[in-house]
Structure 1
């Protein structure tokens, strides 16, 4: 049974990935700090569900605790590490930037140290579409220059990519960074827009729609996202001395076993169309409060996922109406709201 250490398993994406890996016969050890950025009860419920599998075990501690992380990793001896834990939230980074540096930079460094010392077969780490920042050429491709981040959250993730490349080069550590695009789905985070919109519509509260609704996002269903991560586990970047050339469009580093991969739905969706999908799933219209663009936000994101498809043969394709119907059904069940 293959062993995978996953950070952030009580979180939205980490929970879904752990559940998928367990269903595929992996042994998973989760590592999560259970911070109170949002409802800890939701995090604990996710872990309780994972604990129903005998192949799952977990540690509750912060990634900043290097000694504890090394102890856990050394005892578990993972073949693969998937690093998802982070201080998330673009808007919260305006209020508490220090937490992003401590968690996303120091915590990620500790994960990389563990991967180096244990000489894992593959280190996979989460990045974000926010990396593309002020880029205007779309769809965003992994080989595009991305040096204009607009928030400290995006800047810490850009730092993670640079740190990951240096470790891949220095220690010959196969590393894949995957950039997420606006993830939504069941067991989601209450701070995310679609979650807040659903709650507000059901309770007859207005929803804030920024930039007067003139925004586009590459909305990605979490089930599609974690399937992409699962497939990338065995897509190990080749070392420089074992390859002839790098195909056009491949972000593989010329000097390290390191690659960046977008995981998105490869579709630019109007925010208003997404809101309409939520309204249809709920069965009620939203009270709309149109607002100007918020500081640090971008008007559009759109992923070029041709590299993911080339590497794995997989293309995410859950449409927003199907995905939001699944979420609203889960929301009603979890919060015991009758249809």
Structure 2
């Protein structure tokens, strides 16, 4: 081998050996990241996204902006992320409804978050509150409400077809054998506005958006949808305590990217999401009446799938459909 050939071969070998080290460099976003929230500003989804955006931006060294894309029970925003580049710059604020209800309620839409997304990390959980409107409803507890609903027609609002708000109410009606007319709104803010205007008799919405109005007396809380009482409303019984045996629906939030996202990008984002779970972030979530939850990253997709299957089974059994 000539000296020139030998040097060329050694140079090539050096490049080959250096390649793994170059590839091992963690991914770094080159442009601002967007978190797509599938409901309007002001609701709990928007609140959670804005709480986590700031620490996530610090971890990634890049701006994180919130983009509200409401409509079709969250499918418009979900589809927007599905159709975006798989570059880690578009993140979905995932919810129980998007993963666990919409694939059934919007079966013909072609949108399926459980199929199309992988989780970056869980953020928190919140209860829905069953609230009635004083002046429109006389009942002060669930048993009295059931009797009142059997005597006269009632109207309830939700944050949209297929939402956890909708399913919470529909399951309650099914389990208690009563009927009411459903009016879907485009998110928590419009629903709260309708309840404050006394346009509906009752509604199910999160502790994050209901608690202040319950404390002011504008809403009367009859029960929460989880098996544990909400820390923000310790005097409000659970549905099971109120006599609806077996009722249990909690709402969770996570961050997710499309499954076709390259693994190095997913790994870097998961690392960043894991680091934002600080006591400071947890305190801010609790201030918004959201309880932080922790699920190991390796178990995240399986945890979500198990939860989603339960919600889908309920939606299927109740024949819920927006198509």
- What TM-score do the two structures reach when normalised by structure 1? 0.30
Per the normalisation by structure 2, the TM-score is 0.31
Structure of larger gyration radius:
2
